[in-house]
Structure 1
Amino acid sequence: MLKKLLSKLGVGAAKVDLVLHHPHVRLGEKLEGEFFIEGGTVEQHIRKLEVELQLIVHADGKAYRRTAAVIPVSSSFTIQPGERKALPFSYVLPLHLPITRPHVRYAFVTRLDIADGVDAFDQDAIDILPPLSLEKLFHALENIGFREKPSSGKITPYGQEFAFFPTGAWMGMIEEVEFSALIEENGVRLYLEVDVRSGFGGFHETERKREIFLSNEEIDDVEETAGKLRTVIEEMIQQPHSYIGTSYVPFSSYPPQHVSHHHGGHGMMGAIGGFAAGMLAGMAAEELLEDVVEDALDHDMEDVMDDIGDWFDGGDDDIL
């Protein structure tokens, strides 16, 4: 009787542990592991075993969580005292999620739902790596003298935004390069913003925007991609009047595409565009970002753009 009472309070209850074969995975790839369940001091009925993939965003010294996916693993079963069970785990990572960066983290939270007792939990950190096409773009920028900033990868109402600072010959001319990426079937579309220094001493800064498309064949050749990016950025510096404005100017060597009004309009697809929404594989990403965008639109949009750390506005999911 005492053991049953204690088990209902969580003392001597069943435990669960998720062991991942690898703590990192690329978008779209399969992650595998095993659940190890150990019975407590008494027989217990397990209503279900499930895992939540949680997105954790750090902003303004706080951390905020959103559930990106709920993965059912097992329906009800009974575990005997001291019994040990092992269940396989595999999950194909959705293509629509932001990738891991210093301010963007993920965790699998495993829940063992125990009838008439305290549920058992386990948490495991997971790194979501960029798809190869995006990783090659990072390498191409590095090849022409740019390095990713520690603050890169922030979540904005337009998706995930990456930021690079110049080295070598670009220093003094460029403050930073930012972009969001839309992954398409035949390649990657970049919404590129270059902050160019001008005037005496380079104290004046102007934003120049351009939309470019890189085919899968081009991206496979990092040197070719690097060359194209160098040409594009040089043109944006040398032809300022062509690229200053609120819209993205399409890359001239390609047929006209849709123009993304990155800082204009409150349409839902315009608001959550960019990397995260561009890789949308279902409704999950849109629902994940929709509440955040609505929070942002309740505030002055100029303030939101100035401080995109407020991506998770409100405190319902504030964690310490």
Structure 2
Amino acid sequence: MFRKFLSKLGIGSANINLVLHHSRVRLGEAISGEFFIEGGTVEQHINKIDVELRLTLNQNGQTQTKTVATIPVSSAFVIQAGEKKVLPFTYELPKTLPVSRNGLHYTFVTRLDIAGGVDHLDEDVVQILPPLPLEKIFMAFEKLGFREKATSGALKPYGQEFELFPTEQFRESVQEVEFFASLEEEGVRLLLEVDVYAGAFGLQEKELKREVFFPYTETNDVNVLADKLREIIQEMIEHPYQYTASSYMAHSHGPGHGMMEAIGGFATGLFTGMLIEELIDDVVEEAFDFEEEMEEGFFDDFFDGEDEEF
């Protein structure tokens, strides 16, 4: 009786441990492992086993944790004292998640739901990598001497923004490069912004914006990607008036309409979904004063802002 009483307090009760085969996985791929369950000092009834995939976001001085998915593992069963069980685990990651970056990480939290007792929890950190075509684009930027900033990968109301700074050939003219990404059927689409220094190449506009598409046939070769990115960036800084916000909007079939299509496409594409909506409510909305900026033309920040003059 005393042992049964202690088990209800979590002392000598059943426990569970998730052992992942790999702790790093790409978006859209499956992660696998095994659950090791061990009975305690007495027989116990288990209501269920499930796993939560949790995202923790540290951004703008705030920390929020959201449950991305709840994965059912097992329904009710009885585990005897000292009994050992092993259950397989496989989960395919949705393609709508942000990828792991500084200030953004994931944890699997396994819950052994014990009837009439204290649940046993097990936590395992997992790193979510970009899909391979996007990873190749990062590698191409790296070949050109660009490095990701510590703030790269921050969540904005319209997606996950990556920020890079030049260390080599573009160091004298480019301050930073920012982009959002989306996987499409035929390739990867970037919303690219190149911020140039005052006076570089005689420019008067600081923020140059362009939509770029890389077919999957090009993402197979990092050298090809690097050459194309070099040409794209060079063309933007040599012909800046073609890549101002106003010229982008004109190319997008008029102010507002094209912009909203592009933003909407990214907001339901690779890196967002219901998750971003929840995070906006708790973190991003407060940090960016989302409702107020929407009234003032929030999406101007990327597509329709006033051109800066030096």
TM-score (norm 1): 0.83
CA contact (8 A) 1:109 1:122 kept: yes
Which residues of structure 1 form unaligned runs of 5+? 251-255, 308-320
Tell me the SS of whatever aligns to 2:87: strand
CA contact (8 A) 1:158 1:262 kept: no
State the alpha-carbon separation in 1 of the partners of residues 125 and 103 from structure 2.
14
Cα distance change of structure 1 residues 28 and 247 upon mapping to structure 2, 3 Å threshold: farther
Cα distance change of structure 1 residues 213 and 203 upon mapping to structure 2, 3 Å threshold: closer
Q: Which amino acid aligns with 1:279?
A: L
State the alpha-carbon separation in 2 of the partners of residues 160 and 239 from structure 1.
28
Q: CA deviation at 1:169?
A: 2.3
Q: CA deviation at 1:249?
A: 6.5
1:298 counterpart = 2:291: yes
Q: CA deviation at 1:243?
A: 1.2
Look up the match of 2:308.
none
Q: CA deviation at 1:98?
A: 0.9
Q: CA deviation at 1:3?
A: 1.5
State the alpha-carbon separation in 2 of the partners of residues 259 and 142 from structure 1.
35
Q: 2:263 aligns with which of 239, 264, 270?
A: 270
Look up the match of 2:88.
88
State the alpha-carbon separation in 2 of the partners of residues 24 and 36 from structure 1.
20
Cα distance change of structure 1 residues 206 and 16 upon mapping to structure 2, 3 Å threshold: same
RMSD between aligned alpha carbons?
A: 3.1
CA deviation map 1:181-206 (0-9, x unaligned): 11001001110000011238999871
Q: Which amino acid aligns with 2:276?
A: L
1:136 counterpart = 2:136: yes
Q: CA deviation at 1:292?
A: 3.1
> How many percent identity over aligned positions?
52
Look up the match of 2:304.
none
Q: Which amino acid aligns with 1:221?
A: D
State the alpha-carbon separation in 2 of the partners of residues 11 and 262 from structure 1.
61
Look up the match of 2:270.
279
Tell me the SS of whatever aligns to 1:169: coil
1:57 counterpart = 2:61: no
CA contact (8 A) 1:197 1:205 kept: no
Cα distance change of structure 1 residues 208 and 117 upon mapping to structure 2, 3 Å threshold: same
Look up the match of 1:153.
153
State the alpha-carbon separation in 2 of the partners of residues 82 and 258 from structure 1.
69
Look up the match of 1:316.
none
CA contact (8 A) 2:160 2:180 kept: yes
Q: Which amino acid aligns with 1:186?
A: E
State the alpha-carbon separation in 2 of the partners of residues 127 and 19 from structure 1.
15
State the alpha-carbon separation in 2 of the partners of residues 303 and 25 from structure 1.
37
Tell me the SS of whatever aligns to 1:180: strand
Q: CA deviation at 1:264?
A: 6.5
CA contact (8 A) 1:181 1:188 kept: yes
State the alpha-carbon separation in 2 of the partners of residues 53 and 34 from structure 1.
16
Look up the match of 1:310.
none
Which residues of structure 2 form unaligned runs of 5+? 302-310
CA deviation map 1:205-261 (0-9, x unaligned): 7111000111011111211211111111111111121111167479xxxxx878996
Tell me the SS of whatever aligns to 1:69: strand
Q: What does residue range 167-316 of structure 1 map to in structure 2 within 5 Å?
A: 167-199=167-199, 206-245=206-245, 248=248, 270=263, 274=266, 277-279=268-270, 285-294=272-281, 296=285, 297-300=290-293
CA deviation map 1:255-310 (0-9, x unaligned): x8789969966x9x836x53x73127xxxx522122334562335457989x9xxx
CA contact (8 A) 1:136 1:220 kept: yes
Q: Which amino acid aligns with 1:292?
A: L
State the alpha-carbon separation in 2 of the partners of residues 114 and 259 from structure 1.
59
Q: CA deviation at 1:63?
A: 2.6
Tell me the SS of whatever aligns to 2:6: helix
State the alpha-carbon separation in 2 of the partners of residues 263 and 140 from structure 1.
29
Aligned residue pairs: how many?
294
